[in-house]
């Protein structure tokens, strides 16, 4: 397979925990790789274990975590890689800051109602947050600010993974083609 020499792009999946960000990112990664694009996933949970280890969950720490992810995504994008970021990134202002710095950026709002996210929660995080064991949990006692004008909104409670990925792919393909 030939690797395409292409303009880089950051595809930023944002939404509540359990909305489907990682699932959609992984499906898009397979699609891009099958078409010969250089792709690098940046999963919020993985980045937190390595690049942002030691940061807490205050607003300042969350913003710093997103800045760090954005910095890596910007480097990858600048070097012709499609960076697939899946991170809750709850605050609109920091997402907008990262968008401005990167430039070649698509914001994907992975939207599922809180009740659906709680039903999908395999780690029991929402239950622990509701019990008061986790403080500052996004969607429970810390806000999530949805994007005002995302390039794509995926309603993962109403769409299949394939339907959502198809919508994202159309935007990615257009952006990589210079559109």
Active site residue 89: yes
Picking from 22, 134, 40, the residue whose alpha carbon sits closest to that of residue 88 is 22
| Nearest one of 89, 82, 73, 93 to 144, comparing CA atoms | 89
Provide the β-strand partners of residue 41: 84
Q: Which of 25, 52, 86, 89 is catalytic?
A: 89
Q: Could you give the strand order of the β-sheet that contains 152-155, starting from the edge strand earlier in sequence?
A: 39-43, 82-86, 9-14, 105-111, 152-155
Q: Tell me how crowded residue 7 is: count the other CB atoms within 10 A of its CB.
A: 14
Which are the catalytic amino acids?
A: 89
């Amino acid at each position: 397979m030939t690797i395409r020499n292409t303009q880089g792009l950051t595809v930023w999946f944002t939404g509540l925990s359990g909305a489907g960000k990682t699932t959609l990112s992984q499906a898009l990664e397979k699609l891009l790789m099958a078409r010969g694009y250089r792709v690098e996933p940046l999963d919020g949970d993985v980045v937190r274990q390595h690049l942002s280890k030691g940061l807490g969950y205050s607003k300042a720490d969350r913003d710093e975590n997103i800045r760090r992810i954005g910095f890596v995504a910007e480097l990858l994008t600048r070097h012709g890689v499609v960076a697939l970021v899946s991170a809750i990134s709850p605050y609109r202002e920091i997402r907008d800051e990262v968008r401005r710095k990167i430039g070649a950026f698509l914001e994907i709002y992975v939207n599922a109602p809180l009740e659906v996210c709680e039903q999908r929660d395999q780690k029991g995080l929402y239950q622990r947050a509701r019990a008061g064991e986790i403080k500052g949990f996004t969607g429970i006692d810390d806000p999530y600010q949805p994007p005002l004008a995302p390039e794509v909104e995926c309603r993962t409670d109403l769409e299949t993974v394939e339907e959502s990925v198809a919508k994202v792919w159309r935007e990615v393909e257009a952006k990589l083609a210079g559109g």
